[in-house]
Amino acid sequence: MKFHAGEFDVAVIGAGHAGIEAGLASARLGCSTAVFTINMDAVGNCPCNPSIGGTAKGHLVREIDALGGEMGKAADECFLQMRMLNRGKGPAVHSLRAQIDRRAYSTRMKHTLELQQGLELHQAEITDLERTDDGKWLLTTRLEAQYTAKAVILATGTYLGGRIYVGDVSYESGPDGMFPSKYLPDALERLGMSIRRFKTGTPARVLRSSIDFTDLEEQCGDEPVVPFSYDTETPGENKVKCHISWTNETTKQIILDNIHRSPMYSGKIEGIGPRYCPSLEDKIVRFADKKRHQLFIEPCGLDTEEMYLQGMSSSLPEDVQLKFYHSIKGLEHCIVMRPAYAIEYFCADPVQMNSTLEFKDLEGLYGAGQFNGSSGYEEAAAQGLIAGINAALKIQNKKPFILDRASSYIGTLIDDLVTKGCNDPYRMMTSRSEYRLILRQDNADTRLTPMGREIGLITDERWERFTKKQNSINAELERIKRTVLSPTDRLNEILRECGTTEVTTGIRLIDLLKRPELSYEALKEVDTARPGLDPNIFEQVEVEIKYEGYISRQLIIIDQVRRLEKKLLPPGTDYSKIEGLRLEAREKLNKVRPENIGQASRISGVSPADISVLVIYLASLKNRTEEQSE
């Protein structure tokens, strides 16, 4: 018999990376919040790679932290190895990556939810979701408990209608052998939501003692360790090494001989897989000219002997998996503890949502994470944070929180999803942002912490540290502008060693730092008045100086784009009735229903000529309104 079990401001369905950030943000902003998970032991689970960050993803983690989110802090507490990727490239693509202890991370996140005031964590499968007559949402569990909420955030990950595939074998399941969310997809379709099937996969886990590390390349962490969170003052030390191996021609042949047994190629899997993180069999077929593919052998935790084979996801039968693993150097005698698998699941078309991640036609209903068609823990957490913030702000009748593309990678991620949609699982990459030089990970706090403070997610203590850091940056900029170095023999010796022109007169320190060949580190011996500041401050100042011209040009472009963002399009506009728009543009505009001219300009199929028509249309609406008011 159904019974009423509770009423909340916000209900979050799912307690993965999106659900955690959504629930915490909502509760921290003062809303009574419930987070529902199918299995309490799967809170914050990392069913695929036990890592946080990576190229572009590290930017997202820093931005989540800068706004007051939790992922960066938890990663800092649970990391096994920390590395800064792309150090050999420009600062725009430097990205932090942490190999984490997956069980410690899950435990830490679960405990954080349990301790959060105003938040309740419940183990329950939500089987039905419907609107009540008073505009609230009614959630029903499999045990027939019913909860009401003013807003609901769907953060179902790969559980929604989940189905596992290993060769010819397939069965209903969530990740890691958990129960799937079996009945909720029907409820969402009854609401009129457009959902579709996507697919992802995860590699095998193998027993550490069965791996021969003798001839494998070691991959060590960075020293000193650079943390994700701006709150982390003592990040700790690296605890493990990772290793690198390669597939070979034998591996390739084993897979090609058995490709017909892959459900991806036999047609059993209908869902669309990730383009930028393909399975091993997909790599072999798509990149037939490559003789080998890299794989990383990484620990899953300190208290387990499971090792993760990054780059080796597969849906081939278990016997085929064993053959090709045993063909790889170091894995010749490996014992597979968990075979690789593919998982297919339901997700929503994100163009149904606006920039707050609320469904346009289902007020009070939000989507976040893989439910929105994205892939990755970091993309999920970023969306969960924004959905949680906006659900709380809406309930409190406050202005919505929307990040634009020029403010953050989070803004780019959400704008891409709700404006362009995605035909395969969306992955954040630095190349997706046209403002990479401004949206660096080192300045995420400068860009976003004032916004987090205004929302209410940045504590007084955190704000005090932030303002102190900003004051130090400004003071250092002023110092190097007024500091003049004499043309000493030692200075010119340093300049010669660095391959740059010597000086004959005094020169300002800032002018030396503008030279691409020079750095703070190179000049430390002659810069005797340098203050003892955090190295991150010197890094940020140096980047701002060296790339000042490029940054200035990007800021001009951003200003122009933001003018278009301010030209709001009226909700409910019927674009089929606007004369001058091409047929394709009318169809795309009616589907996406952009919020402003800037967003409309980024819709595939909407041309500059169509944008001109919309600008004229807005001007005519304004003139008509002014005439009516006279």
Q: How many whole angstroms from its chain centre is CA 476?
A: 32
Q: Label residue 425 left, alpha or beta by phi (over 0 means left) and psi (-120 to 50 means alpha).
A: beta
- The pLDDT, as a whole number, for residue 626 is 66
- CA-to-CA separations, 325 to 276, 314, 345, 602, in angstroms, rounded: 22, 11, 27, 44
547 lies in the same domain as 571? no
pLDDT tens by residue, 546-569: 988 888 898 898 898 899 889 999
Any domain includes 225 = yes
280 lies in the same domain as 211? yes
- The pLDDT, as a whole number, for residue 630 is 61
467 lies in the same domain as 522? yes
Any domain includes 349 = no
> Half-sphere exposure of residue 354, counting CA atoms within 13 Å on the CB side?
21
How many domains would you assign to the chain?
Answer: 3
Any domain includes 377 = no
Question: Mean pLDDT across the chain, nearest whole number?
Answer: 94
pLDDT of 628 > 90? The answer is no
Q: Which residues of 609-629 are buried (b: 16+ CB within 10 A; e: fewer)?
A: ebbebbeebbeeeeeeeeeee
Q: How far apart are CA 371 and CA 17, in angstroms?
A: 12
Share of the chain above pLDDT 90, in %: 85
Report DSSP state, residue 353. B
pLDDT of 273 > 70? The answer is no
Last residue within a domain, chosen from 291, 315, 341: 341
Any domain includes 587 = yes
Q: What is the CATH number of the domain that holds 527?
A: 1.10.10.1800
What is the token pair recorded at 617? 């249309």
Any domain includes 293 = yes
**Is residue 378 very low, low, confident or very high in pLDDT (cuts 50, 70, 90)?**
very high
Q: What are phi and psi of 452, to 5 degrees?
A: -60, -35
pLDDT tens by residue, 476-509: 999 999 999 999 999 999 999 999 999 999 999 9
Lowest mean pLDDT among 54-63, 203-212, 546-555: 546-555
**Is residue 623 very low, low, confident or very high in pLDDT (cuts 50, 70, 90)?**
confident
Helices and strands in the chain: count of H runs, count of E runs: 21, 22
546 lies in the same domain as 612? no
Length of the chain: 630
pTM (predicted TM-score): 0.94
pLDDT tens by residue, 415-458: 999 999 998 999 999 999 999 999 999 999 999 999 999 999 99
Q: What is the CATH number of the domain that holds 332?
A: 2.40.30.260
Domain range for residue 271?
A: 205-341
Mean pLDDT of 16-31: 98
280 lies in the same domain as 243? yes
Last residue within a domain, chosen from 498, 526, 552: 552
Report DSSP state, residue 113. H
Give the start-end residues of each E strand in 203-302: 205-207, 217-219, 242-246, 294-299
Q: Beginning with the edge strand found earlier in the chain, give each strand of the sheet holding 336-338 in spatial order.
A: 217-219, 242-246, 294-299, 306-310, 205-207, 336-338
Mean pLDDT of 28-47: 97
pLDDT of 19 > 90? The answer is yes
pLDDT of 274 > 70? The answer is no
